[in-house]
Amino acid sequence: MPRFDFDPNDYKEEANRFTPVPKGEYKLKCLEAEEFDTRSQDGTYIKAKFEIVEGKYEGRKVFQNFNVNNPSDDAQRIGRGQIYAWRVACGKPDASDTDQLIEVPFLGYVDIEPGKPGYSDQNRIRRFFDPNEALNRTTSQGSYQEPKKEGNGTRQGELPGTERARPEPRRTERRAEGDKKPWDDDIPF
């Protein structure tokens, strides 16, 4: 019988690092973001990895996808709106590339998305706070008051239909410097 040559009790925290963090406001930053083709090859999305940068859950990761080009006008509108909100939360509303948002701290509301069959629950960023609004708030895991629901079933500052499927990541070729990005279109937000 194999014996442990270490105390397994020393690793309780490690066992919980893949469980979702509690709902609440957190200070986060993006570590990396990359664009992929959708599974059906008829659109693109940005897959981003965020990290909580302070508090009890410092170092925990939150993964988020943003639809950029999608045959569904609603999915595309929501994804691009989330990108806009992320840019504003970072204090860079004119950012033209995700590289300008990497390592920039911001305040966001992290929620728990129920897992689909075969998948565990996971965290999602449901709201990116405007820096001016964030100045009047403090991060507090657990004491956050959820915004009131509006008539369409969403909460203030939240876009309807933010749940997304999990397509398989497919790498896309990097664009040449100066090529227009999909979010640099004439659609106003």
pLDDT tens digits, one per residue of 158-183 = 444 444 344 444 454 444 555 555 55
Closest CA to 24 of 147, 116, 131, 175: 147
Hey, what are 173's tokens?
Answer: 């070729």
In a domain, 97, yes or no: yes
Query: Mind listing the pLDDT tens digit for each residue in 56-113?
Result: 999 999 999 999 999 999 999 999 999 999 999 999 999 999 999 999 999 999 999 9
Q: In Å, how far from its chain's centre is CA 77?
A: 16
pTM recorded for the entire structure = 0.66
Comparing 164 with 5, the larger pLDDT belongs to 5
78 belongs to a structural domain:
yes
Q: Is residue 159 part of a domain?
A: no
Count of domains forming the chain: 1
Domain annotation covers residue 117: yes
Question: Which CATH number fits the domain that encloses residue 127?
Answer: 2.40.50
Task: Give the up-direction half-sphere exposure of residue 85: CA atoms within 13 A in the CB hemisphere.
Answer: 20
**Domain of 26?**
20-134
**Is 8 a domain residue?**
no
With respect to residue 33, please indicate whether it lies within any of the assigned structural domains. yes
Considering only CA atoms, which of 87, 84, 100, 91 is closest in space to residue 135? 91
Residue 172 in domain:
no
Judge whether 182 lies within some domain.
no
* Closest by Cα among 61, 67, 23 to 47: 67
**Phi and psi torsions of 76, nearest 5°:** -65, -45
